[in-house]
A and B are shown apart, each in its own frame.
Chain A
Amino acid sequence: MDRVISVSVGEVALKKGNRNFFEKKLLNQIKVATKDLGRPNVYRERGKMYVKANEDNLEALIKRVRKVFGIVHVSPGYKVNKEMKSIEKVSLKEIEEIRKTKEIGTFKVQCKRADKKFPLNSMEVARRVGGYILANTEGLNVDVHNPDIYIYVDIRDSAYIFSKKIKGYGGLPLGTNGRGLLLLSGGIDSPVAGFMIGKRGVSIEAVHYHSYPFTSERAEEKVKDLAKILSRYCGQIKLYSVNILNIQKEINKNCPSEEMTIISRRFMMRIAEKIARNNEIDCLITGESLGQVASQTMKGLNVTNSSVDIPVFRPLIGLDKTEITEIAQDIETFETSILPFEDCCTVFLPKHPVTRPKLDNIEKSEGSLDVDELIDNAVENMRIIDINI
């Protein structure tokens, strides 16, 4: 008898022709996500995926595996020989384990046979296992319509027995849908944006802007921490850390102060575009949400958007702050996001930023700056940090 985690896939199974490709990607992602937990064996058996576990690492593995995109739910369970005696015994063991922590009165055994050569059919297996449990417990009844719990018996090359189903995030396996560059600040929104696009199978890289020494190194540490949390879902993340102090100084010197934010924003987009082009990345991802701050008004977004010529995905565009916060809490980036280190120093922030910028005016202001050289310098001096799961 082995401890295993059974993995149920969602949309992956629907991609008929590509199923093999998707499953291989997923298998690989699970391996990456569990590498530092003793490199457990991850394998496919007759169209289902399993992770071999032991009692020590089971909880930790479940926590990791359920975060891999493409997985609908994971189930801790047991792998046993395909003999009724073993199946019955372990099923009883599983139900007794559950009764230690949860009060239950009724159950139902549900059997699936991928191995059609198994001597008993599904109904017969379920009846035999159910009967065995009834004979060896007290206070339990079978309820086939509305049971308190299910005992699942899967008959494949071995037999698998499990009961609990722990929800995953669904989506598509990473790397099945191209690559995107996330503009990652220290805030609540951008990690959520990265999570949402990553969930659609996009490999995520990230760019972070700071104004050191006008800002603290702790701000960068915070972004690294956020990228690390994100990497649990999105795999290894390459983080480009760009110092834009010189750019801000130039804007501060040469442009109207109320345009500081929007022009900085345009520079960030342009730098991101350049990094994307240099690294064969196909889109930018931002955490912008319509109307949330001055630079995210419709006019503001238009002016920001027109600085680049690459698709920009804004998965949070229609979400309220409370909805974004809920996701941030669920994916565990929230607590880190609210730490008080600011990434772009407030000394440059205007008291009254323009909320309805006009592209003409902004472009005129930028006319006094050597935009290309400023961008080239910033990109040349950026640091690249590998964030591993």
Chain B
Amino acid sequence: MLVYLDNSATTRARDKVIDEMNIMLKRDYGNPSSLHRMGLNVEKRIKEARNIISDYLNVKKEEIFFTSGGTESNNLAIQGIINKYNKKGKHVITSKIEHSSVLNVFSKYEKMGYDVTYLDINNDGTINLEQFKKEIREDTILVSIMMVNNETGTIQPIEEVKKIIKGKNPEIKLHVDGVQAFSKIEFNINKLDVDTFSFSSHKIHGPKGIGGIYIKKDLNINPIFYGGNQEMGLRSGTENTPGIIGLGKAVDILRKSGRKEREEIKKLKNYFLTKVEENIDDIRINSFKDDRCSSHIANISFLNIKGEVLLHFLEDDDIYVSTGSACSSKEKTGSHVLKAMKLSDEEIEGAIRFSFSFYNTKEQIDYAIERLKERVEEIRDIMMR
């Protein structure tokens, strides 16, 4: 039985999404910039996809831009905002547990002389808001915080972050990396009043190589590369039409059944957690067990185990999971997220991320638990001398 529990890495595309993309490749392959009817037809379909997404996110359609995915969206937001507002100041704030597509952009600016504050993380995996309050300065121009952490599933207090910004320095722009939150938790971009919000298609059963960004109207950031001025000049390059239409279809389905699916996933994950706790000793669950964690991620440390070894044992059972750290003697490359949560080396080494989707079933979970229990015992037995 194939059990895919790595849905935070990427997801299987829905059949209906693939069907739509097929049409775009085989029949409606025109370039939306072409003046003829074939171009116009595709342009209309892109408009449709944009409408679906803006409707789902409850924002204006002019506020949605298509990109190549989460990494590009994060780059566009951070570079765009910094380059526009750097005359007001050179201080930015982010957290220690952001995705590499955020952290590495900031480390580039740090080298260029910007002052970057990396917020500490509480033991429960949330950012330290007290520290955040203290770090906000006159010359702070940007705050970038993820909505859901990709390794632990912990939901970050974006609402409080915005409140603090408003109280201390309302000029500061707020970027939210929403890649792991999009469709996985309930939120309202308007109410949160964020400035930019990034999302990706392949995490929500759409195709890879496509994603998007919400940019609040009138923010007017500059593009990071130049060309044919597609996407209202913000993102040049011939539109990835199969991708856009595929993403549109994936979101269209979410509009209709996203909540129901989310409830199913939540039940499965809770069932999984209960079973793991019942069956396996010496573990640590590295996130909240309630709604303060996204329903699609469970991060668990198995003590006296190397996560990578467990991963390979499970793959032999056709069960696919993920680990933050690699089994290397030369350098300890443990997860930066778990490190920031101050887990012990042993807890970090034995950490496995299980991430769920609506394609998973209870039978799969039962099978996974049975194998997991056996494999953990087997490895612990080998490692003991």
Across-interface contacts of B327 in A (CB, < 8 A): 342, 345-347
The interface bits of chain B over 238-274 (1 if a CB of A lies within 8 angstroms of the residue's CB, else 0) are 0000000000000000000000000000000000000
Q: Does B344 contact A (CB under 8 A)?
A: no
Size category, A interface: 10 to 19
**In the complex, A232 Cα to B316 Cα: how many Å?**
33
Min CB–CB distance A76 → chain B (angstroms): 40
Across-interface contacts of A257 in B (CB, < 8 A): 385
Q: Does A367 contact B (CB under 8 A)?
A: no
Query: How many residues of chain B are within 8 Å of chain A by beta carbon?
Result: 14
The interface bits of chain A over 318-358 (1 if a CB of B lies within 8 angstroms of the residue's CB, else 0) are 00000000000000000000001010011101000000000
User: Which stretch of A182-190, A212-220, A298-306 is in the interface?
Assistant: A212-220
B385 touches A346 (CB 8 A): no
A252 touches B385 (CB 8 A): yes
- Once A346-B329, A347-B306 are accepted as A-B contacts, the answer to whether A249 and B382 lie under 8 Å apart by CB is yes
Residue of A nearest to B317 (CB): A213
Min CB–CB distance B250 → chain A (angstroms): 30
Min CB–CB distance A306 → chain B (angstroms): 27
**In the complex, A342 Cα to B326 Cα: how many Å?**
11
Residues of A in contact with B (beta carbons under 8 Å apart):
212-217, 249, 252-253, 257, 340, 342, 345-347, 349
Residue of B nearest to A216 (CB): B312
Majority secondary structure, A binding face: loop
B382 touches A340 (CB 8 A): no
B312 touches A215 (CB 8 A): yes
A347 touches B309 (CB 8 A): yes
Known: A345-B327, A347-B309. 16 other contacts (CB 8 A): A213-B309, A213-B313, A214-B309, A214-B312, A215-B312, A216-B312, A217-B312, A217-B315, A252-B382, A252-B385, A253-B385, A342-B327, A342-B328, A345-B309, A346-B327, A347-B306
Residue of A nearest to B316 (CB): A213
Q: Does B308 contact A (CB under 8 A)?
A: yes
B382 touches A346 (CB 8 A): no
The interface bits of chain B over 345-385 (1 if a CB of A lies within 8 angstroms of the residue's CB, else 0) are 00000000000000000000000000000000000001101
A349 touches B382 (CB 8 A): no
**In the complex, A346 Cα to B315 Cα: how many Å?**
20
Residue of B nearest to A347 (CB): B306
Min CB–CB distance A240 → chain B (angstroms): 21
Chosen A-B contacts, 20 in total, with CB atoms closer than 8 Å, are A213-B315, A213-B316, A214-B309, A216-B308, A216-B312, A217-B312, A217-B315, A249-B382, A252-B385, A340-B328, A342-B327, A342-B328, A342-B329, A345-B309, A345-B327, A346-B328, A346-B329, A347-B306, A347-B383, A349-B329
Residue of B nearest to A245 (CB): B382
Across-interface contacts of B385 in A (CB, < 8 A): 252-253, 257
A213 touches B328 (CB 8 A): no
Min CB–CB distance B3 → chain A (angstroms): 16
Residue of B nearest to A340 (CB): B328
Min CB–CB distance A340 → chain B (angstroms): 7
Across-interface contacts of A347 in B (CB, < 8 A): 306, 309, 327, 383
